[in-house]
Structure 1
């Protein structure tokens, strides 16, 4: 297929409530929606970059710049028959994985629609439904978090992830275990808030039977995490440290983690996500799909990738209503049964655009042709 047009939209979508992590507080979703068109069909994806460069070096403005001045000019007019060709096309671009992922994901959706197959099937997905968990941000008090845990357990979520940071950690985890017991699937996400000096504190978490501690140390580290993992019985999960197959291979060989969180945007697209999934499967390292406040298009991509066989831990792809009053897809992403999302079987991502909502939240739009 010849890529005839690329459309970029920037959307500002308010969150139902502020969400805070150790690297920032967010009140709206700053989203880039990408549409890639050919022969009357359009594939969609979205960038997961944030408006600030605190999760990683990318942010919404830099993604737009890369797309406009480097990536889209390389893609428009090209004949693409396999989505993997897109990853090959951008192989010379250093990093900027969220920008690459947004464009590559739209090509995957486009080609799947043209071939009449679901994105899940194209990726090798084996599940008709996936279990999902929920991520709870840092709140003003432990009691506030406990109220959120109560609500999300009642809604049926299969895993509870709570954000922690020094001073908001042991007391929080202890309170959750005391209130809800040892059977609740519970994990802690540190977003790089700790150092090796915190080993005595982090070892205290071993007593709580956590599924994992996610990214406790520096965002670019795999060496110190290996030191920490040897001190802990709780599995370490790496997130921000893993950007490529090579990162994953080195982390596995060093013993830096026992679990890996895969985010499509962080590793440069669906092709690379699939390759890391396959590597981890060969080494017996389970993976799960993290969330980045995606709107419905991004959530649809997450659902498809999480249907692959080594995604054995519930991910963070919550329902649309978790963060938004209105989503940009229809139907909105919702449970097929408590804590479970159905994997679409329609061609491509399996959701239609809610065009009224897209127009409502669009703050800028550009169209690119050969």
Structure 2
């Protein structure tokens, strides 16, 4: 396909309630939406590295500028007939996986529409249904948290993830485990700790957690391997896995028992599929995460969640969990307890509502092919 036009939208989407983690608090999600046009069709992608470089070294304004000034011009007017073609065009630009993911996920949506296939089917999903879990951020009190976990259990979610940080740690987990002795639970540390905290992590072993997600530094593999050797509870790597090569190295040195795959963090759906397939070949289970994106950003994650080596409930959220009104449509809804069904429409099935997109946009750019 010949890329005719690329449009970029830096938007801010207010959350229903603050999202608190080990690295900070988000009251709105800054993200970049990408519209790719070719062959009379359009594809939508999204990348949400957040407002500041706290989750990763990238941030939304920086991703927008790089897409506008370098990445979009590199693709414009080029034939991009495969996802590998797109990745090769972007390869000279080092890193910046979130920015690349905006273009990559838009390309996949566009390619699936041109092929007339749902995205989940195009990438080899085993069926349209994805199993999803409940995520609960740091709350004002442990009593409030216990009530939220209780609601997740009543609603039928197959697992619950608890955000974990200094001051919201062992005592919090102990209270939740006491209240729900049979619940499938895990903690997400968002890179908030070091090997100096190894005694605390040994204490976590006694709570029967499914995993400990990203306990150490966002760019570390070696210390995670040391920590994993000291624990019974599997470590899941998230922030540390930014490419297929990083996933390979993590598995080689025994740094984890699980890998979380986020399309934005790894440079798009192309690399996410490659990581999934490598994990399957190495008998390492994985599951799919997200960055609190709109439905446009969650669409590719939902498609990924249908792949066969996804062995744990994923972080794809019903729209009502995060936003009063998503800027994208249709809304993502549960199709059963702990279950979301991917769209049967060609592509990932979601697109922005024009009016909502306009109101949310902070900065806009269009990169179009010359007509003269």
TM category (shorter chain) comes to over 0.9
Aligned to 1:37: 37
- 1:72-111 → structure 2 map (5 Å cutoff): 72-111=72-111
Return 5+ residue gaps in structure 1 as ranges.
none
Could you tell me how far 1:364 is from its partner in structure 2?
2.7
Deviation of 1:352 after TM superposition, in Å, equals 4.1
Unaligned runs of at least 5 residues, structure 2: none
8 A Cα contact 2:22 2:166, kept in partner = no
- Kept in 2, the 8 Å contact 1:31–1:48? The answer is yes
In the alignment, which residue of structure 1 is the partner of 2:143?
143
User: How many pairs align?
Assistant: 369
1:266 partner SS: helix
Aligned residue number for residue 239 of structure 1: 238
Aligned to 2:337: 338
- Structure-1 separation of matches of 2:221 and 2:362: 39
Question: What's the counterpart of residue 319 of structure 2?
Answer: 320
1: CA distance, partners of 2:233 / 2:366: 49
Tell me which residue corresponds to 1:263.
262
TM-score by length of 1: 0.97
Task: Output the CA distance in 2 between the equivalents of 1:352 and 1:6.
Answer: 15
In 1: Cα distance, 2:329 partner to 2:241 partner? 32
Alpha-carbon distance between aligned partners in 2 of 1:154 and 1:140, rounded to the nearest angstrom: 21
Aligned to 2:191: 192
The aligned counterpart of 2:353 is 354
Distance in 2 between residues matched to 1:25 and 1:255, nearest whole Å: 32
In the aligned structure 2, how far is the partner of 1:38 from the partner of 1:275?
Answer: 25
Q: Counterparts of 1:2 and 1:251 in 2: how far apart (Å)?
A: 37
Q: Deviations over 1:296-345 (max 9, x none)?
A: 10111110011111111111111111110111332200001121000222
Alpha-carbon contact 1:127-1:309 (below 8 Å) kept = no
Secondary structure of 1:68's aligned partner: helix
Return the alpha-carbon distance in structure 2 between the equivalents of residues 352 and 224 of structure 1: 41
C-alpha distance in 1 between matches for 2:202 and 2:158 = 25
Deviations 1:225-265 (A, max 9, x none): 11111110000001111111111111111111000011111
Given that 1:190 and 1:215 are in contact with CA atoms closer than 8 Å, whether structure 2 keeps it comes out as yes
- Preserved contact between residue 131 and residue 305 of structure 2 (Cα < 8 Å): no
Matches within 5 A, 1:113-124: 113-124=113-124
Structure 1 position 362, deviation (Å) = 2.2
CA contact (8 A) 2:10 2:61 kept: no
Secondary structure of residue in 2 paired with 1:126? coil
Q: Matched residues in 2 for 1:301 and 1:100: separation?
A: 14
Q: Contact 1:83–1:111 (CA<8 Å) still a contact in 2?
A: no
- Cα shift at 1:351: 2.6
With 342-351 and 104-113 compared, the bigger mean Cα shift is at 342-351
What is the root-mean-square deviation in Å for CA atoms of aligned residues? Answer: 1.2
Question: CA, structure 1 residues 218+352, in 2 after alignment: closer, same or farther (shift >3 Å)?
Answer: closer
Q: Distance in 2 between matches of 1:249 and 1:364?
A: 37
Partners in 1 of 2:33 and 2:296 — Cα distance?
A: 8
- TM-score, normalized by length of structure 2? 0.97
1:66 counterpart = 2:66: yes
**Aligned match of 1:163:** 163
